Amino acid sequence: MIGKRKVSKIYLIRMDSPILKENGEHPRHFSPPFTLKYIQALAIKDGDFQIKLVDCLVTPIPLEKLVNDVLIWDSDLLIVSSSTHSYEQAIQFCSLIKSKKNIFTVAIGQGPTAHSLDYSFSASSFDIALRGEAEKEVISLLEALKSGKSEKEISEEYQHKSSKNEVNLIWDLDHLPFPEYTPLETEAYRYLYPIRTWKRLRWGHILSSRGCQHGCIFCSQIIRETYGSKVRLRSPANVVDEIEYLRSKGVNIVAFDDDNFTALSKHIIGICKEILRRKLKVKWIAHARVDELNVFLITLMKRAGCVLLRFGIESASERIIKIIQKNPRNINWTETSKSILSCCRRAGITTNALFIIGNPGETAEEMKATIKLSKELSPDLVQVHFFTPYPGSAICENSHNHALKINELLRMHHYIYPQINLSNVSADDLITMRAVFYGSFLLRPFFLLGHFFNFLLFYINNIECSYAFSKILKIIFQRRGEERS
């Protein structure tokens, strides 16, 4: 029994998502599996462990080969990060492992957090499921395993924790060691957004904060990087220390992958001033909200190296913005969006605007108004998502959608055919509307001329981004061809 001997080999896996593999027409990028990377860093720091991390999202591996690799490597502890989309893969994988060897198995990630009972039950192939930010819980688990407790005792303790529906959160973020990335990982976790540079980008990824205080009804852990509604901050010095560490590893651009980098102005100001104090020349990007920025902050961010901001604009309809609870300050959402994106443009910060179509009760006219707004905002690029009631979101938990079965959830994705359509437009028409949206925005001659004037050298030196742009064009022309036929 594993509880009677020292754990020396830990195998970490982020499971693949079949739905993304089968429906890959829309370009997408992958952020690092932050929880697994922090577990890896903590285990290396706190113990004498051999650790192997495999991210099947970026390096797909057939299930049988993955099972054989775990067995050949002679793993003692298996930690699997699973989402709603990879649930069946995770269960099947661990069942195959358990049929061949008694390895202690742990489920973490969005899936076990949103529906832990589907992972943690008496006959489950997972011994335990950890909800939320599992990094420190895994270290506690390692201590329990080394103490000589039996697997049964440990499983019962953690099942009792899971039954309380408590989500683990980490508060002392400065005490976490920096994750380390191999050159292959640095190459794999790259964003597809155009940046004004001629260089081949080598991306570094940082979580400078965790949590988001906003209550957008569509937001779910499946589209977030962190947990909780309480924002927890790292100190500016700690964040900039990690920037310097990444730069020492060859990184030349940093992505702040916080769910909302602009949650607190003091956080933005502190990081920017620390970058400027150290006289660092670093490019960085972040996800921001139009209702949390102003001219002063945008100017400071630009001085400190900000080259791109992503904004969730979502809709031109104030009615829809209110339904999806995007505007807690009750400002004029459209005018504020125009003002902030204009300010970014004047400052020289590239903008990427995100929109959602198919919102609850949304009409075709409201979607057309959003297309019109996208052109008025004049961002450098747009992303168009379908409204998707993911598990863990308010729309899912507070309506009939919470009764969705796991096999229904497996087919849901915000880039793929809308399985659950809450708008006043048919799902087929939503597919067409997305193609119209992209075509109406991207195929304007003035936009294309300006875009490639600004970003041609970037596309030449970051060829995968050219491929992503071509996939969007394919969506446009493929749908047009289907409509004509």
In the predicted model, is pLDDT for residue 5 greater than 60? no
The answer to whether position 233 is within a domain reads yes
Q: What is the arithmetic mean of pLDDT over 55-66?
A: 92
CA nearest 206: which of 228, 223, 225? Answer: 225
pLDDT score of 118? 83
The answer to whether position 168 is within a domain reads no
pLDDT score of 482? 61
What tens digit of pLDDT does each residue of 153-198 get? 888 887 777 666 788 999 999 999 999 999 999 999 999 999 999 9
In the predicted model, is pLDDT for residue 459 greater than 70? yes
**198 and 95 share a domain?**
no
In angstroms, the Cα distances linking 301 to 68, 262, 293, 348 are: 48, 11, 10, 11
What tens digit of pLDDT does each residue of 87-119 get? 889 999 999 999 999 899 999 999 898 888 888
Q: What is the arithmetic mean of pLDDT over 301-326?
A: 98
**210 and 317 share a domain?**
yes
Rounded to two decimals, the pTM is 0.93
The answer to whether position 236 is within a domain reads yes
**H helix or E strand, kind and range, residue 129:** strand 128-129
pLDDT score of 162? 66
What tens digit of pLDDT does each residue of 209-251 get? 999 999 999 998 888 999 999 999 999 999 999 999 999 999 9
CA atoms within 13 A on the CB side of 150: 3
φ/ψ of 79, rounded to 5, equals -115, 120
The mean of the pLDDT values for the chain is: 90
Specify the number of domains making up the chain: 2
**Domain extent for 83:** 2-163
The answer to whether position 172 is within a domain reads no
Q: How confident is the model at residue 405 (pLDDT cuts 50, 70, 90)?
A: low
pLDDT score of 478? 76
**378 and 448 share a domain?**
yes
Q: What is the arithmetic mean of pLDDT over 57-79?
A: 93
In the predicted model, is pLDDT for residue 24 greater than 70? no
The answer to whether position 29 is within a domain reads yes
Is the Cβ–Cβ distance between 283 and 307 less than 8 Å?
Answer: yes
**Domain final position from 163, 191, 222:** 163
In the predicted model, is pLDDT for residue 341 greater than 90? yes
Q: What percent of the chain has pLDDT over 90?
A: 70
Domain containing residue 48: CATH number: 3.40.50.280
pLDDT score of 280? 96
**190 and 157 share a domain?**
no
**360 and 408 share a domain?**
yes
pLDDT score of 21? 64
**95 and 206 share a domain?**
no
Q: How confident is the model at residue 32 (pLDDT cuts 50, 70, 90)?
A: very high
The answer to whether position 53 is within a domain reads yes
pLDDT score of 263? 96
pLDDT score of 222? 85
pLDDT score of 172? 96
**379 and 429 share a domain?**
yes
In the predicted model, is pLDDT for residue 367 greater than 90? yes
pLDDT score of 1? 42
In the predicted model, is pLDDT for residue 485 greater than 60? no
pLDDT score of 398? 72
The answer to whether position 171 is within a domain reads no
Q: What is the arithmetic mean of pLDDT over 417-432?
A: 93
Strands annotated E in 368-419? 381-386
DSSP string spanning 19-84?
HHHH---S-------HHHHHHHHHHHHHS--EEEEEETTTS---HHHHHHHHHHTT-SEEEEE--G
Burial class (CB in 10 A: 0-12, 13-18, 19+), 336: middle
**326 and 467 share a domain?**
yes
By three-state DSSP, how is residue 161 classified? helix
In the predicted model, is pLDDT for residue 363 greater than 60? yes
Q: How confident is the model at residue 2 (pLDDT cuts 50, 70, 90)?
A: very low
The answer to whether position 39 is within a domain reads yes
For tokens 């957090």, what's the residue? 113
**241 and 144 share a domain?**
no
**201 and 146 share a domain?**
no
DSSP string spanning 261-309?
TTS-HHHHHHHHHHHHHTT---EEEEEE-GGG--HHHHHHHHHTTEEEE
**273 and 237 share a domain?**
yes
438 CB neighbour count, 10 Å cutoff: 21
**155 and 239 share a domain?**
no
Domain containing residue 250: CATH number: 3.80.30.20
**Domain final position from 104, 138, 163:** 163
Q: What percent of the chain has pLDDT over 70?
A: 93
